[in-house]
Chain A
Amino acid sequence: MTASTSGVITLHVNGEPHTLTVDHRTTLLDALRERLGLTGTKKGCDQGQCGACTVLLDGRRAVACLQLAVAAEDRAITTIEGVADGGRLHPVQQAFIELDGYQCGYCTPGQICSALGVLDEHAAGWPSAVTADVRPEAGPPALTDDEIRERMSGNLCRCGAYTAIVRAVAQAAKVVSA
């Protein structure tokens, strides 16, 4: 690798800085998986269509396959490995286990990171395409099953675990907001 096609960057992942030399073409997804050993973030399509590689960038959802690693410097990156609080699972993770919100588990890290984003976006009052009243003064809509489905639709699940995922996100929302 010549100097012109690679660079030294520092990625802040799950609260830890990692300094590494990357090929400029390296996606954030490949940097996480191949360079930092954080293989919890999955590659389902590598073109931003399936959501399996969803991570949080500065708290907001992003597909890591469409992000170059060099562009993720100075962002706070949260991957599935950073969702639990030490040994204590996040309510979303707990709900996925209890309600069987998965089958093969491959889309699960992306679904969970996406659900975290959904809960934050909803709490911040963001409407979705199915929100009936989008006026700011209307406040956050009720987090109905339809709202969850709409907001989670960037995350495909071929096993068809959708109904249980929606239940899990709804249950976690109650725990988080309690």
Chain B
Amino acid sequence: MTTATTGGPATRAVGTPHVRLEGRDKVTGAARYAADHPADGLAHGWIVPSTVARGRVRSLDDASALKMPGVLAVLHHGNASRLTEDFVGTFGPDATTQVFQHDRVPYLGWPVACVVAETPEQAREAAETLAVTYATEPHDVDFRPGHPGAYTPEEMAVGPACTEKGDVEAELAASDVVVDAHYSTAEEHHSPMEPHAAMARWDDGRLEVVDSTQGAYATARDLALLFGLDPASVHLRSEHVGGGFGCKAQVRPHLILAVMATTLLGRPVRVVLTRAQMFTLIGHRSPTAQRVRLGAGADGRLRALEHTALSATSTVREFIEPSAQYGRSMYDADGHRTVHSVVRLDVPTPTYMRAPGEAPGSFALECALDELAERCGLDPIALRARNEPAVGPVSGLPFAGRRLLDCFAEGARRFGWDGRDPRPGVRRDGRWLVGTGTAAATFFTGARPSTAAVTAHADGTFTARIAAADIGTGARTALTQLAADALEVTPGRVRVLIADSDFGDAWLAGGSMGTRSWGWAITLAARELRERLALGEDIPPDGLTVRSDTEQAVNSLAAYERHAYGAQFAEVAVDPGSGEIRVRRMLGVFAAGRIVNPLTARSQLTGGMIWGLSMALHEEAVRDTATGGLVNTDLAGYHIAAHADVPAVEADWIDDPDPDDPVGIKGIGEIGGVGSAAAIVNAVWHATGVRHRDLPIRPDRVVLMPRP
């Protein structure tokens, strides 16, 4: 067999735009998501959520439900199979998995039963008419600053809850200018367009699962652990996933119930969450109450930086929205303190949501810096330039590149920032007041161990296998480009298969670490394969396969502050009469390492920026303290940015090479949503002269906040 990869020049698939490989399937309806897979004898599960916020299930009339047409089973805490107690999954201990393992109701919407029937209509009717009674207990869902139950833990999932250096109080006292401001953000929901769905069936002793998950391997491993199964007996696929944003990274009730039901009934079962259940069963972003205190000299140099953040978690599991960590790598001061605290309420458990911590945290800190710039009489970009740290403010580690100011320079040039009149509230366009704003952005660059296999076939083509997920990121296409370059062949000769737990351990699509982690594994395997072929190794009939595992490489990365950076710009128009805010344009310029696929990268970055717009102006889950539930568990009441809300949004990037980095790729999934809300809020101040510190800036907030 010829050594097909030698002789030609290296291809350069990476860095050139490629349309999505699955594009045709997506525009013709052929792409199958988790709820789209057919199965003979399929039964349908419908979850019954609790209607009280705290208490115990007293009775559940499953006998009546079982008499209804088509009903096959009613699963509940009295008859469900036992799961592993004290389950510790990919993201640590997680008692939200203990579905039907007890009669306790920890929040409104907790699953108390699941009706399985021949058709979705029959399952739904039986579920909606199932009589459940509760022994209720008083609940507390009232998130507020100063809540007596707030506490500060030692650790959060992502690092220490507190950091401190120097004397914040003394530095504040010695400062010429002090900003002390409180900020709040609303409870937000991921709201991917695809509701979570899973289909499970037993096939010859193996559990075959299709799930909407951001990590096929991690979910399969956690599922096996939860059910006490041999991990090899669980096979999970997630070929197409309709958005994730963090809410599809864990085992969720729909999957647990599909497995319980198929095990009980011996036939395939599908469970799909309703849109309302998407607001209670899959995590969300906690509301936050934040306080930022900044002290600076008259020249704008920070002497004190304090950022405290309160978020809420459930009584089931502790999850802390790490809002105050944003400043740990961004800005230095002699007195520097970041503190997280959390309060347990009778609400669903929050989780990672696109730019966890960074999204709300950058809103508060970047808006506070804008206030500081105003007080110092400085341009907001000049203020940031004056506060560029030499090393990590908390870690003391050197930066592996920090091109923040270059992002600002390029962004300012393209946005037309120079010569901006700093005065607020002076630009009119008919009924509109017009203003511009800016903010910085950062997101850490991480990598997690992953395995991959790349096979050379006798016909000169290649197949790469990795349990990656493409949740809309373009991972499938990017990995094909990376594999092609490593093999030094055209992408047309490479097939990348993803989203199958049988492909082995791989990081999930999260933390902006997917393409970096997976690309690393694919590249290692592909390079070795190319070298072996170049040395003349034969390709056997079933192909020549090289496997890689990046665990050692990832763990031996030198310690640096590794981040992507960005500069966000926005122009808004505010109608002070109606309170309406229209974003007229947004620009983000990023330094985010090597951009693998400019076409899909631009989409991902602008998508993140639109999340910032949506957070700034629209998204707000409203909890009713009387019932304990949300009042707007649907996409009419919980508004996410729609077409008409979104103006021209531009994202671009500057070169950001790091010759010392073995991959050179940084994540881009989250940084677009960092600083973008702050840029809009700062623009609203520039338009109106009003500092809005509570998100979203609803029309009523505009109307009720008098202009100076």
Contact = CB atoms under 8 A, between A and B. Distances in A.
A159 B472 CA distance: 7
Contacts of A41: 29
Interface string B248-286: 000000000000000000000000101100000000000
The listed residue with most A CB atoms (<10 A of its CB), out of B27, B29, B275, is B27
A66 B28 CA distance: 22
Contact of B648 (A1, A45, A163): A163
A169 to B, nearest CB: 10
Contacts of A96: 23, 26-27
> Which 7 interchain pairs have the tightest Cβ spacing?
A40-B29, A106-B242, A104-B472, A160-B607, A160-B610, A103-B472, A105-B26
Given A105-B472, A106-B192, A160-B608, A44 B275 contact: yes
B411 interface: no
A156 B193 contact: yes
A80 B28 contact: yes
Contacts of B641: 160, 162
Contacts of B119: 23, 34
A37 B38 contact: yes
A157 interface: yes
Nearest to B31: A105
Interface stretch (B80-88, B137-145, B343-351, B632-640): B632-640
Interface stretch (A47-55, A119-127, A131-139): A47-55
Contact of B643 (A23, A40, A166): A166
Contacts of A108: 26-27
Interface string B14-42: 00000110111111111111011010000
Contacts of A47: 275, 634
A112 B27 contact: yes
B603 interface: yes
A164 interface: yes
A50 B643 CA distance: 12
A160 B609 contact: yes
29 contacts: A38-B29, A44-B195, A45-B275, A45-B635, A46-B275, A47-B275, A80-B28, A81-B29, A83-B28, A89-B28, A97-B20, A102-B23, A104-B241, A105-B242, A105-B472, A106-B193, A108-B26, A149-B644, A153-B644, A158-B190, A158-B193, A159-B243, A159-B472, A160-B606, A160-B610, A160-B611, A163-B648, A165-B643, A166-B643
Given A44-B275, A89-B27, A97-B27, A150 B644 contact: yes
A161 B635 contact: no
Contacts, number: 183
A49 to B, nearest CB: 4
Contacts of B648: 145, 163
B640 to A, nearest CB: 6
Q: Which of A34, A100, A149 has the most CB of B within 10 A?
A: A100
Contact of B600 (A2, A45, A84, A100): A100
B643 A100 contact: no
Contacts of A44: 193-195, 275, 635
Nearest to B610: A160
Interface residues of A, number: 61
A100 B191 contact: no
The bracket for how many chain B residues form the interface is 35 or more
A158 B473 CA distance: 13
Contacts of A166: 643
A152 B643 contact: yes
A163 B243 contact: no
Contact of A158 (B30, B191, B606): B191
Interface in B602-623: 602-604, 606-611, 614
A25 interface: yes
A33 interface: yes
Nearest to B26: A105
B29 A109 contact: yes
Nearest to B602: A100
Interface in A9-63: 23, 25-26, 30, 33-34, 37-47, 49-50, 52
A145 B69 CA distance: 51
Contacts of A49: 275, 634-636
Contact of A43 (B29, B35, B644): B35
A33 B120 CA distance: 11
A112 B30 CA distance: 14
Interface in A73-105: 79-81, 83-84, 89, 93, 96-98, 100, 102-105
Contacts of B685: none
A42 B649 CA distance: 27
A58 B272 CA distance: 30
Given A89-B28, A108-B27, 16 more contacts: A1-B70, A2-B69, A33-B35, A34-B119, A34-B120, A44-B635, A49-B636, A80-B29, A100-B603, A102-B27, A106-B194, A149-B644, A149-B646, A158-B245, A162-B610, A162-B646
